[in-house]
Amino acid sequence: MKKILVVEDNLEVRENLCEILELSGYEVHAAENGKIGIEQANIVIPDLILCDVMMPVLDGFGVMKILN
């Protein structure tokens, strides 16, 4: 099963994305900011990361730079 990490600070958007992806058969992990997203990415090793750009703590560009 493919793993997807959703990094999104808006709770409603994050929950909706996760629900849609789970119903489509993906293993979904979620994080509410970039810092937690990086921690999750290192633990889970997802196949795909869906990441918001504008977030508190660490934005999407920072996440991309660190994980790259």
Give the helix ranges, DSSP H, for 1-68.
11-23, 34-44, 60-67
Sheet containing 3-7: which strands, arranged edge to edge?
Answer: 27-31, 3-7, 48-51
Does the pTM exceed 0.85? yes
Interval 49-58: pLDDT, tens: 999 999 989 9
Per-residue pLDDT of the chain (68 residues; tens, 9 = 90+): 999 999 999 999 999 999 999 999 999 999 999 999 999 999 999 999 999 999 989 999 999 999 99
